[in-house]
Amino acid sequence: MATCIAIDEILKQTWGYGSFRPLQQEAVEAALAGQDALVVMPTGSGKSLCFQIPPLVDGGLTVVISPLISLMADQVHSLHTVGYPAGALNSAMDAIESSEIEAKLLSGELKLLYVSPERMAMNSFRALLRQAHQGKGVARFAIDEAHCISEWGHDFRPEYRILSTLRDDFPTAPIHALTATATVQVREDIIRQLGLREPQVLVGSFDRPNLTFRVVPRDRTYSQVAEIIRKYPDDAAIVYCLSRKDTESVAAALDHQGIKAVAYHAGIDTAERGRISKDFAQERVNVVVATIAFGMGIDRSNVRCVIHTCLLKSVEAYQQETGRAGRDGLDSECVLLYGGGDVARIERLFDGGDPHHLEIQRRNLSHMRAFATTVDCRHKLLVEYFGQGYEGDHPCGACDVCLEGTEVVEDGTKIAQKILATIRELNRRHADFGFGANHITAILTGGHTKAIEKHGHQDLPGYACLAGTVRERIAAWIHQLEDQKLLRQSGGIRSYLKLSELGNTVLNSREEIVLRDPRAVSDLQTKSDDFSGIDGGLMAKLRSFRRDLANERGIPPYVLFDDSTLRHLATMRPVTQEALLAVPGMGEKRAADFGEPLMDQIAAYASANGLDTNIARSSRPRRRERAAARITPSAITLKALFDRHISIAECAAEVGLAVSTVGGYLAEYLESHPDAIWAYVDNSTYDQIINAANENAGDRLKPIFEALSGEVSYEIIRMVLAHRKSTEAGS
Ligand code: ADP
Ligand code: ZN
C-alpha cells in the first residue's frame, strides 16, 4: 500500500523510529481512510503517534482534545523538537499567544491543534474551526483520555460530555477516541456518547511488560524504601503513601538517609504543589513522596520506580498509579510494601452509608489484596483482572513470583484442613459475625490476645495447632484459601471470613488442597537494566547535557528527547551524522538541531575512556519478547562465562560483542562477585592501577592508561576501578 511506505518514512524521518508498535499502523490507516476508531492501549504504548502521523501524510488538520494543560504543553514542545507544526489553545495562554495560534490555524500552517474540552464547548471556537485551513476546516478529531466522558470510568469529567455534540456539528470529520483504561462497559459508553459510526475498535494488550512488579513484606518501611530508591540513583521515583502524615515522615526519613525527597499532598497549597511538579518535571527533584493527589499532570516519562508503602483500595487505582512508571517503555519497577494490617487500615477509610457502595469497595479491596498475596504471576493477574487473557510468557520474568518461584508446602492439605476446620468451628459459634485473617492466625499459632480471651478461643480444637509457624506465612495461606474460593468474605465495614460452600465440600471430601510458599532466594533479582553494560559516566554526562539544553529552552528534559534515546546514545556512541541518525529517537530535526554538540560530548568521553564509537544498534529484543528475556541472552551467557573465568577477549568472541562492551559487563559482574577479579588481574597489576588512579586523582581512564605506558588494557583498568569502588562501598 502506498500509504504504508509513506507512513514508515515519516516515522523514520521525523521521530527516528524504525518500526511501528502494535496497532499504531492500524490506527493511522483508519484515520487516513476516514474511519472512526476507538483505540485502547496501555500507558506508554504510543497512542500519540496514532493521531500525530495522519496530518503529516495528507496535510489535513487534526484537533486533539486533551484534559490537561500541562500534558498538552509537553506534547506540543516535544513535537516542536522534531519539527512538527503543532500548537495548543487553552486558558493558560494570553490573548497575543492565542491570536497567533488562531492565525496559523486559519492559514493552514498548523497541522495539529491541542485544545481543552472547555474550549471545544465554545461556539465561537467551533466557528473558527470551520474556517480553519483556508476554509477546509477540520480533517479529523482525536479525543485523548476518552474514558473521561464516561461516568463508569475512574476519571469522569463532566466537561467531556460536551464532546457528544461534535458528531452533529462536524458530520464529515472522523473521530478517534483514545484511552488506556477501559472496561467493556466504558468502551461501549465512549462509543455511544461520541456517536462513533462503525468504529474500528483497536484494543491492545493491557499488559505492560516493561514493568516489573514486586510485593515485599513490610517490616522497616523507611529503610526498605531507601534501599529500593538507591537502585535508581539518578532516576525518578514516586513513593505513594496512604496519608499525608506518612508522606511527610517518609520524605523526612529519606532526606535523613541522604536521598533528596519532597512530600506532596492535598494539604500543601496550590502554588507550592505546582512548584514541586515543575521541579520534578525539570529533574531538579527526583523523588516525590505523595498521596494520590500527585497524579494527573505528571507526565515525566522516565519514572523508573513507583513504590507503594501500603496496600491500596483497588486494582484500578494500582494500575493507574503504577501507570506512571516507565511511560517511555523502558524497564521500570513497581514495588508494593504489604503488611497484614493493611486491609483493616483501608477498611477504616470506607464510607459505610450505602450498603451497595460498601460492597463494591470491599470487593475492590479484596481483589487488590489478592494481587498482593497471589502465588501466581502478577502480570497475568492484572491482565485477567481487566478481562483479557494473558498472552505473555510464563514465567513472565518480570514479577517476583515468576522470578523467584514458589514451593508447594509439604503437608499443605493437612494444614489447609486445620485452617478450614477452625474457621468452620468459628462460624458455628458465631453465626452472625466473624473474624479476619489476623485473628484466625492468632488462634492457630496459640496467641494470647485480648480478643482470644474475650471470646474464649483458647478452647477451640484448632488453638495452637500451627504453633511455631511464622504468622505471615499462615496469613498468606489463609488468603490462598480465599483465592481458591474455599473461604468467602462477609460482614459490614469490617469484613470477616467464613467457610464457603465449596470449602465445606472440599473439607468433607478430604480433597487435596495446594498451599504455596514463596521460595526464599537472596539474589535472584538482577534484571537486564541493572546489567546492561551501559557506561554510567557517559549516561550522566549525556543526562546533564540534555538537562542544560532543556533548561535553556524552558522545557522538561524528557521532552527534548526521552530516556530510551539517551540510553541508545550511550550504547551506540555515534560520532558521525550517519551513526547519529541510526539512533532510535534521533529524527532529522533533532539531529540537525543538537547533533553536533552531542557528538562532541560523546567523542570526548569515548576517547578519554577508550570506548568504541559508532556501534551498530544492538538487536535488542522488542517489547513483547522482552518480558521473557528480561535478562538479555548475552548477559546470561556472559555471566556463565565470567563464572568460569573466561578471558574478556574470548567472551567477546563468544557472544559477538565489542571487547569494551564485555568489559562493561564484567565490571558490573564484579560488583556482585568481587573475588572473581583475581582470575582477570594479578596482584601487582592491580596495585599499579590503583597507584596510578590515586596519583591521577580520579576515575578517568585515559591518564591511568598512559601512566602504565599503554600496557594494561582499558577493560582491565575499568574493572579494577569498579572493584575498588565496590569493595570500598562494602567496607
Ligand atoms: P501513551 O500516550 O500511549 O501513554 P506515548 O504516545 O506517550 O504513549 O508514547 C510513549 C513513548 O513511546 C514515547 O516516548 C514515544 O516516543 C515512544 N514511541 C511511540 N511509538 C514508538 C515507536 N513506534 N517506536 C519507538 N518508540 C515509540
Ligand atoms: Zn510473572
Q: What angle do CA 389, 395, 400 make, to 5 degrees?
A: 105
pLDDT score, position 623? 39
- Mean pLDDT for the stretch of residues 79-103: 93
Q: Residues 32, 36, 42, 46: what is their CA dihedral angle, to the nearest 10 degrees?
A: 20
Ligand 1 contacts CB of residue 332 (under 6 A): no
Query: Which among 7, 12, 17, 299 is the best mutation to test ligand 1's pocket, defined by most ligand atoms within 8 Å of the CB?
Result: 17
The full DSSP string for 597-623 is HHHHHHHHHHHHHT---SPPPP-PPPH
Does position 667 have pLDDT exceeding 90, yes or no? no
Q: How far apart are CA 632 and CA 625, in angstroms?
A: 11
Q: SS3 of 518, please?
A: strand
- Mean pLDDT for the stretch of residues 611-620: 75
Burial category of 453 from C-beta neighbours within 10 Å (exposed 0-12, middle 13-18, buried 19 and up): exposed
- Mean pLDDT for the stretch of residues 588-611: 93
Contact criterion met (CB below 8 Å) for 200 and 35: yes
The full DSSP string for 346-393 is HHTT---S-HHHHHHHHHHHHHHHHHHH-SS-HHHHHHHHTT----S-
- Is this structure's pTM higher than 0.75? no
Atom of ligand 1 nearest to the CA of 18: 24
pLDDT score, position 317? 86
Contact criterion met (CB below 8 Å) for 236 and 307: no
Instruction: Give the distance (Å) from ligand 1 centre to CA of residue 562.
Output: 10
Backbone angles phi, psi at 333, to 5 degrees: -125, 140
Instruction: Give the distance (Å) from ligand 1 centre to CA of residue 570.
Output: 20
- Mean pLDDT for the stretch of residues 413-434: 93
Atom 25 of ligand 1: nearest residue by CA position: 17
- Min mean pLDDT across 334-343, 387-396, 565-574 is at 387-396
Atom of ligand 1 nearest to the CA of 41: 3
Buried b / exposed e across 649-660, counting CB within 10 Å, b at 16+? eebbeebebebb
Provide the pLDDT confidence category of residue 636 given band limits of 50, 70 and 90: low
Provide the pLDDT confidence category of residue 525 given band limits of 50, 70 and 90: very low
Ligand 1 contacts CB of residue 41 (under 6 A): yes
pLDDT score, position 625? 35
Query: Which among 8, 39, 45, 202 is the best mutation to test ligand 1's pocket, defined by most ligand atoms within 8 Å of the CB?
Result: 45
The ligand with the least distance to the CA atom of 181 is: 1
Atom of ligand 1 nearest to the CA of 47: 3
- Mean pLDDT for the stretch of residues 477-485: 92
What is the average pLDDT value for the chain, to the nearest integer?
87
Ligand 1 contacts CB of residue 208 (under 6 A): no
pLDDT score, position 528? 42
Atom of ligand 1 nearest to the CA of 564: 14
- Delineate the domains of the chain, giving CATH numbers in brackets: 2-203 (3.40.50.300), 211-407 (3.40.50.300), 410-513 (1.10.10.10), 536-609 (1.10.150.80), 631-730 (1.10.10)
pLDDT score, position 479? 92
For 105-145, the pLDDT digits (tens) are 999 999 999 999 999 999 999 999 999 999 999 999 999 99
For 325-371, the pLDDT digits (tens) are 998 888 899 999 999 889 989 988 887 677 877 887 888 898 999 99
Q: How far apart are CA 476 and CA 406, in angstroms?
A: 13
- Min mean pLDDT across 68-77, 459-468, 630-639, 697-706 is at 630-639
- Mean pLDDT for the stretch of residues 493-503: 88
Ligand 1 contacts CB of residue 66 (under 6 A): no
pLDDT score, position 664? 73
Ligand 1 contacts CB of residue 323 (under 6 A): no
- Mean pLDDT for the stretch of residues 572-592: 94
Ligand 1 contacts CB of residue 140 (under 6 A): no
Ligand 1 contacts CB of residue 145 (under 6 A): no
- Mean pLDDT for the stretch of residues 507-534: 67
Largest alpha-carbon pair distance within the chain? 87
Instruction: Give the distance (Å) from ligand 2 centre to CA of residue 397.
Output: 6
Q: How far apart are CA 520 and CA 524, in angstroms?
A: 10
**Residue with the three cell numbers 484466625:** 440
- Mean pLDDT for the stretch of residues 713-717: 84
Instruction: Give the distance (Å) from ligand 1 centre to CA of residue 641.
Output: 36
pLDDT score, position 200? 94
